[in-house]
Copies of this chain bind each other. A is one copy, B any other.
Amino acid sequence: MTKMKEVISLAHGSGGKLTQELIKNFFLPSFNNPFLAPLTDSAVVEMNGVKFAFTTDSYVIKPLFFPGGDIGKLSVAGTINDLAVAGAKPVFITCGFIIEEGLPLAALKKIVSSIEQTARCAGVEVVAGDTKVVEKGSADGIFINTTGIGVIPPQINLKIASLKIGDYIIINGTVGDHSVAVLSSREELGFEESIESDCAPLYDLVKAIKPWWRFIKFMRDPTRGGIAGISNEIAQGQNFAIKIQEENVPLREETKALCELLGIDPLYLANEGKIIFFVEREKAEDILKALRIHALGKNANIIGEIVAEPVGKVYLETSIGTKRVLDMLIEDQLPRIC
């Protein structure tokens, strides 16, 4: 239990145990309402008979530019993906900029142009914005908040509660690319920039598998905390466990090598172009085939399933059959990854 004399630490923003504690002790008691309660990435709200998804995210990634993207692209893709995994067609987004005095206008220009391109490709309109400037040393280059709204079609009904033993888990490609790209671009590390971030808006991929929507029970984008962290959020308090089959998790050789070198676990690395789909077992192969046809799903694979035990937990089964519980991390492996 967090004590009041304590202060905020980086781990409170990690997406791990301390973030959950902060949400549970600070935010939920104040903001308890039926929309916020499910703790998914988007609130699902109804206004005048129409079902909407509504989501917000602030982006504080460091550095601002990385292989495969920048904070502008990330801030649009990330919010679109939070809508997409709620089954919503993203329609409108807002952009709030907090800029540190001294940011070169050329950098702002590049970022704004990325926002525009990403929004345009995804068919989303940037309809409102806000700009604040703070003194040098009071921010770090630029922080961007994007908030998005999307329309949820009637046939979409995604619920953790609908998951049952035997359901399969699919991911649409290799894990950890975003974290590795950002890590390699942080000067102090000096890695070769061989991997690009997977940062991409994913609604187009979700749309591509429309014929199978009714067999999809739940979706999440494994950003902060990675597939291990997100799987833990899903399994917690449920009457089932999640099994991940290590050999089936798509992973680049370079990511594997880097993780071994640094002693970090790729299953906890952040992704910005991935969705984990919880689907009906009988339709999993069909959905997999459909995903693989799309450029954003060509390395898709079935990576696990809902199992009976240990209840509320996530575990990894290795190729030689050993099992290891994947707990939620307390500290971030990599702060400021998004």
Question: For the complex, is A95 an interface residue (Cβ under 8 Å from B)?
Answer: yes
A12 touches B145 (CB 8 A): no
Which chain B residue shows the least CB distance to A31? B126
Complex: A266 Cα to B248 Cα, angstroms:
66
Given known A27-B112, A33-B125, A134-B140, contact A145–B58 (CB-CB < 8 A): yes
A35 touches B133 (CB 8 A): no
Interface of chain A residues 82 through 139 with chain B (CB within 8 A): 91-92, 94-106, 108-109, 112-113, 115-116, 119, 125-135, 137-139
Complex: A21 Cα to B103 Cα, angstroms:
16
Majority-rule SS of A interface residues: mixed
Give the interface residue-count category, chain A. 35 or more
Complex: A55 Cα to B108 Cα, angstroms:
22
B147 touches A94 (CB 8 A): yes
Complex: A103 Cα to B9 Cα, angstroms:
8
Which chain B residue shows the least CB distance to A91? B47
Which chain B residue shows the least CB distance to A41? B128
Could you give 22 example pairs across A and B, Cβ below 8 Å?
A2-B105, A8-B133, A12-B99, A14-B133, A26-B105, A27-B112, A30-B112, A31-B119, A42-B128, A43-B94, A47-B92, A47-B149, A47-B151, A48-B48, A48-B151, A50-B50, A54-B127, A56-B96, A56-B130, A57-B130, A60-B138, A135-B336
**Interface of A with B (CB < 8 Å)?**
2-14, 19, 22-23, 26-27, 30-31, 33, 35-36, 42-43, 45, 47-50, 52, 54-60, 91-92, 94-106, 108-109, 112-113, 115-116, 119, 125-135, 137-140, 143, 145, 147, 149, 151, 335-336
